[in-house]
Structure 1
């Protein structure tokens, strides 16, 4: 975590809100996939096309945060909530679930190379300019948020240090998995979303 979370867990009030997208999703892998796709569509609508670094970065961050909400924050019968905001050239994605007990570590550690999980928050920390966790206001649970600073033309403002080669491989693998969802390719549509 790069900075302290504001006491209310939300954006400071002095910033002018330019755009906002908010929706509740079922706490299932399908709900997480839908959240990721809708965030990508919304960014495209806001002038950050699908192939831009802003859209791809925020979509990947959303994917990791929503997957964690489903995997680690799932309580049967409870949904998770996604909020995407653009304020003063800062995109902020918030994913709120109802499980207060399982919180991501303040500074994620490197996962074992053979482990099949444990890299999500490493990706978020590597891609976001800032991220954190805050208690859910007025109810049990937590909000995990990430911010990305952008120029008006859609490019990141900050200079990022290039990730280690193993991190690049992980990012490329994760990005290819996001593009290979069942039903996302034209050839899958003719089979009702099922591969043969």
Structure 2
């Protein structure tokens, strides 16, 4: 790819936004020619990032961004909450608490940074190719 493609979407921080974010990833990465297993893993990672953002900023705007860096998908999710997510142990029967562990298990690299242009933070994941 000569020029890194990019797609962005602003979402309402509600649980249904995870579905929209997954479909955005599927559309972008399929259009850009990535293999199906990577598309599926990326959909899962974005879903976890959006779910964490929904939990941090319910009812507010959040933003999803998908681009390519080092020929690999780079997934980002911004939310306005200043609180930084941290991995935490989840009980076997817990319905939540595994988001960052899932992201870490599928991404080549991931992290959290303060937003450069807004309040809040960006959770990002560089996927393996």
> Does the pair score TM above 0.5?
yes
* Structure 1 runs not aligned, ≥5 long: 1-15, 151-196
* TM-score (normalised: structure 2): 0.90
| Contact persistence 2:76–2:122 (CA under 8 A) | yes
5+ residue gaps in structure 2? none
Q: Pick the aligned partner of 2:39 from 24, 39, 55.
A: 55
**Aligned with 1:149: secondary structure?**
coil
Q: Is the 8 A contact 2:25 2:46 kept in 1?
A: yes
Q: In the alignment, which residue of structure 2 is the partner of 1:41?
A: 27
CA contact (8 A) 2:14 2:58 kept: no
Shift of residue 126, structure 1, vs aligned partner = 0.7
Asked if 1:111 is matched to 2:95, the reply is no
| 1:17 Cα deviation after fit | 4.8
8 A contact 1:17–1:88 mirrored in 2 = no
TM-score, with length taken from structure 1: 0.61
User: 1:29 and 2:29 equivalent?
Assistant: no
Say which one has the larger Rg.
1
Q: Which residue of 1 aligns with 2:75?
A: 93
Aligned length: 128
Report the structure, 1 or 2, having the larger strand content: 2
Off by >2 Å, runs of 4+ in structure 1: none
Taking the aligned partners of 2:119 and 2:69, their CA distance within structure 1 comes to 27
Q: Which has the higher contact order (CA 8 A, sep 6+)?
A: 2
Task: Give, in whole Å, the separation in 2 of the partners of 1:110 and 1:89.
Answer: 33
